[in-house]
Chains A and B, each alone.
Chain A
Amino acid sequence: MLAAIDLNGFEADSKDCLLLQAFLQQLVGQPLLAVRFSYGDELNLHFGRPQPHRSPKMAHLVRGQYILGARASRWQMLSATTAKLIRMPVNGSGPLADEWRPLTPQQVEQGDFIPSGTRVAAAESLALDSESIGLMLAFMDGSVLSIIPARSTDEVGVAEVADWELFTPHARWLRVGPGARWSCLPSRADEMSS
């Protein structure tokens, strides 16, 4: 039997990882447009065709049809092209072991560690444990991006921040976490009222 899901559909507070996996498949085949950090050093990957920002204040920058945001989660980028692993060292902001070379966010953005235009080969959600859902993106050049939610329940208000998120060209916002829950919600005010 064949079946289809509606990428314009909504899903609230779901624990269905198979359905999340299905929603993520829209990333497969999309070319990487840009790697960019936003305020708070959040890693963002833009995919698909370049689009104008909605705000005229951001007219000088393009955005992708899809934007993947790592929020405050741990992530690592395995660059097949440059044979490098980019990540936050395990000891956080402590001194680096000799083998690690420090990088600024700007160096990661401009380093072409995953060359622009490289397409996503596979997108997999990772049920890491009963409390979080990670993400693994494999690229056609062999590079891999992993997002691994940090478990921290000792901060006030942490529950407000998703573990990672994906904006889609269908005016939807895939919000994953905190916890092993996810939602697919309208990303634009005009969609919220419809």
Chain B
Amino acid sequence: MGRKQDIREIDRIARQFGMDEEQRKEFGDYIEECKRSGDHGSKNERGDFTWSELEQKAHDFLA
């Protein structure tokens, strides 16, 4: 069962950066890949990302 709050944040960031739905989907995969490759966020012990970290990730993703 997915964590609704985290999923909602990805959706909101995607909208903020003008991603279409396919890009939003890939962005969620990209963020998970970042975590798995050791690029963890500072939000919690799970390595989730803060809002500002997600914004930076969106910049990187779209660059």
Partner-B contacts on A (CB < 8 A)? 36-44, 53-55, 57-58, 61, 63, 67, 69-75, 88, 150, 152, 155, 157-158, 160-161, 167, 171, 173, 185-189, 192
Contacts and interface: CB of A to CB of B under 8 A. Distances in A.
Given A54-B23, A185-B21, A38 B4 contact: no
Contacts of B2: 40-43, 70-73
A36 B29 contact: yes
Contact of A39 (B1, B10, B20): B10
Contacts of B31: 38-39
B1 A160 contact: no
Chain B interface residue number, banded: 20 to 34
Contacts of B10: 39-40
Contacts, number: 102
Contact of B22 (A54, A57, A61): A54
Contacts of A61: 29, 33
B29 A40 contact: no
Given A40-B3, A54-B22, A189-B20, 15 more contacts: A37-B32, A38-B25, A38-B29, A38-B31, A38-B32, A42-B7, A44-B29, A53-B26, A55-B30, A57-B60, A70-B1, A155-B4, A161-B4, A173-B22, A186-B20
